[in-house]
Amino acid sequence: MIKLYDSGVYVVRGKEIIEDGAKAAAAIKQAIGREVTKEQAEKATIACGILDAHNKGEENNLRIVFDSLAAHDITYVNIIQTARASGMTKFPMPIAMTDCHNSLSAVGGTINEDDHKFALSAAKKYGGVHIPAHLAVIHSYNREMMSGCGRMILGSDSHTRYGALGTMAIGEGGGELAKQLVGRTYDLARPKVVGVYLTGKPNKGVGPHDVALSIIGAVYKNDYVNNKIMEFIGDGINNLPVEYRNAIDVMTTETTCLSSIWKTDDKVKEYFEIHGRPEAYKKLDAGEVVYYDGMVYVDLSKIEPTIALPFHPSNIYTIRELRANAKEILAEVQDACMKQLNNKNLNMRLTDKVRGGEIYVDQGIVVGCAGGTFDSICDVADILEGKIIKNTAFTLSIYPGSQPAFIELVRNGAIAKLMAAGAIIRSAFCGPCFGAGDTPANGELSIRHATRNFANREGSRPSEGQISSVALMDALSIAATAANGGKITSAADIDVNFTKPKYYFDKSIYEGRTYNGIGKPDPSVELQFGPNIRDWPKIPSLTDHLLLKVASYITDPVTTTDELIPSGETSSYRSNPMRLAEFALSRKDPEYVRRAKEVQAIEHLRGEGGDPCENSEVAAAWKSLHSMEGFKDIAPKSVGVGTVVYAHRPGDGSAREQAASVQRVLGGWGNICIEYATKRYRSNLINWGMIPFQIEDASSFGNGSWIFVPNAKKMVQEGLAETEAWILGDNPKKITLKMAALTDEEKKIVAAGCLINYYAVK
């Protein structure tokens, strides 16, 4: 059972919840014998204490310096390239770089391994940590080696979450990491904090993904925790092992919250002791009276085994209700998915999975930072011990999150049990979470204890008539399903004895294979470049006015970063900005790149002193512009010509900055939306010099419209909340473009054209 409170709440001594209102002050005084103001109670959160300890700015306008950074091989090359171009000479703080996404080195020749060698040389030159392929996924390593109670970590992966270990971690685009590497801060208004009160104890067969998906289902669609911090408290935490907490915590990203933090206890202390870092522990807890801007109340004893059907982790059903209404639910989901894909050549065939009243799936995956924990894999081994995954179409793959966890699973016999049952054991790899491993066959359905089930996250290519899909489930129910030959089965419905073996951490695995150069930069080391590693192209600074063509107009309720720049096969080209740009919006709007390039050619002509009106579309737009009073004398040299993307609510999902940078290198000047889905996507736009426009009603323009934005530079530099713009044509129409507040530094970055330009002229 999950309850969302309609107002803010006070929590007294970690137990009594008092709703905000006229009677709250009296109730608090009666409980503790004294008065407490809301301001005092707001400062009593765990989150407030950690933020204040890292804040170099004002009380409500934070300027955060992190304790360490985390990046992987889809992002670290561009981060280092940006920081180098911005003047970095050494890493000012620890940065752990893991080769966990492009680990297979299988697509594009040598380019993935070339990136890995680049990272190793950068770790030596600038003083960082490099973790080779198959040794650990990014979040497993940072939990084991970099987390600490009261610390803050900034990562270039959206699932950067170590709150269960008392570490406030935030996933952002690479530009924000580059800022930290050149001595700048992470700037934001003080975020609100929502309490997550856990009580009770999960029933047998209920795993962490069941809890996480239930929370996501309750808060995602109503934006209950959007860009806020989720603070986990309550007596139920004591009933959860630390790895169970970690597996819940990493999924908070799918709520669209900014970050998460949990109270800590002796189990967390033991975790750090096991990992040889007892100094990393300290007790964290909220104050005697604490105020939260909302409350998610979770009775763990009422959570059931749960499944998230395509195409979002919030699309949840209990396994019980899905099995009882299989045909109806799958037909409804199938229709919604096909509408989202908008491709008549595809046949999803979800309803075909129902046979004889039961649902049969084709593949099971337990992987990475969410599913590949030691505890989950031990439980899977117990469920499958003595059973055989028969010679059917169903397959099961297991990916431990790190080699230290893997070797202990070997030593305690769990791996032997799994292999004897017919499971395939893989090394540490993030691939199945973003479409680069274990891609099902066309029309198949995969069940995964992974982080996401967005469209095409399993590796299918709708543009080529290929479509498979993913449902998220906990490892326990995936194992139960595997034991039943692929028939969807709840782990609550099976009889099993969980052995719960003790974990022993072998740090020698990391000591022998990782390079740790923290505090030991060697400027004499030469960076090792591969042929696919390219510098960023020259980016123009913001002009006084903008003439923008709408190059893509997206009306989906939410547009994910996967739709802006696909995951999977494109990851191999993340070190080559122009090559990567060829994939921009390729699955959502295949004509976008062509349109953008055509407009970019016009801007190049203008920038070289040519006449942009040689293009007939621009000539028509210019004629419309000059027909209006006040714009007759505007000279072409003061008007930047480029593109803009409209989407209702863009940016849900991954933190990767390339969702914005590909638009920028193709001549994009901004986005227009009703609302940005996440802070991190808006930050990516800003760091790439793109104006984050918003609008209340976008019905007056569409794909191919030309929009004139006068005084765009003034709007940015003066931080104007709104400006008038015109849809050009035979009868120009005025619209109002809005822009939420920018920090002083963000204004300068956008005006300069991008983060690199900003640092170059400082």
What's residue 762's pLDDT? 59
Q: pLDDT over 90 for what percent of the chain? A: 72
Cis peptide bond N-terminal to 311, omega within 30: yes
Spell out the residues 6+ positions from residue 332 whose beta carbon is closer than 8 angstroms to its own: none
Residue 607: is its pLDDT beyond 80? no
Annotate 473-493 with b (16+ C-beta within 10 A) or e (fewer): bbbbbbbbbbbbbbbbbbbbe
Taking the CA atoms of the chain, what radius of gyration do you get in angstroms? 26
Is there a contact between 596 and 563 (Cβ–Cβ < 8 Å)? no
* Domains of the chain, CATH where assigned: 306-508 (3.30.499.10), 545-761 (3.20.19.10)
Look at residues 266, 260, 296 and name the one whose alpha carbon lies nearest to residue 281: 266
- The confidence band for 656, taking pLDDT boundaries of 50, 70 and 90, is confident
What's residue 347's pLDDT? 82
Residue 634: is its pLDDT beyond 90? no
Q: How far is CA 486 from CA 35, 41, 311, 449, 736, in A?
A: 59, 51, 21, 15, 54
Residue 725 DSSP SS3: strand
> The tokens of 699 are what?
């019905």
* Strand ranges inside 248-343, DSSP E: 259-262, 289-292, 295-299, 306-308, 316-318
Is there a contact between 348 and 475 (Cβ–Cβ < 8 Å)? no
Q: How far is CA 138 from CA 134, 249, 518, in A?
A: 11, 15, 17
Average pLDDT of the chain? 92
Residues 209, 375: Cα–Cα separation, whole Å: 13
Question: In terms of DSSP H, where are the helices of 675-732?
Answer: 679-687, 712-718
Is there a contact between 21 and 7 (Cβ–Cβ < 8 Å)? yes
Q: How far is CA 255 from CA 28, 158, 370, 503, 677, in A?
A: 31, 11, 15, 30, 11
pTM for the predicted model, two decimal places: 0.91
Look at residues 155, 161, 144 and name the one whose alpha carbon lies nearest to residue 248: 161
Task: Provide the sign of the torsion angle of the four alpha carbons 357, 304, 220, 73, taken in this order.
Answer: negative
Look at residues 376, 365, 374, 404 and name the one whose alpha carbon lies nearest to residue 131: 404
Is there a contact between 159 and 253 (Cβ–Cβ < 8 Å)? yes
Task: List the single range of 395-399, 619-623, 635-639, 665-669 with lowest mean pLDDT.
Answer: 635-639
724: phi then psi, degrees, rounded to nearest 5 = -85, 140
Rounded (10°) angle between helices 403-411 and 374-384: 30
Look at residues 14, 63, 437 and name the one whose alpha carbon lies nearest to residue 198: 14
Q: Which helix (H) or strand (E) holds 130?
A: strand 129-131
Residue 277: is its pLDDT beyond 90? yes
Mean pLDDT of 360-389: 94
Mean pLDDT of 393-422: 95
Look at residues 267, 263, 236, 262 and name the one whose alpha carbon lies nearest to residue 249: 262
Residue 136, strand partner residues: 402
pLDDT in tens, 437-466: 788 888 889 999 999 988 788 877 777 788
User: Residue 167 has what DSSP assignment?
Assistant: B
- The confidence band for 80, taking pLDDT boundaries of 50, 70 and 90, is very high
Q: Which helix (H) or strand (E) holds 40?
A: helix 38-42
Neighbours of 696 (CB within 10 A): 9
- The confidence band for 103, taking pLDDT boundaries of 50, 70 and 90, is confident
∠131-419-438 over CA atoms, to 5°? 60
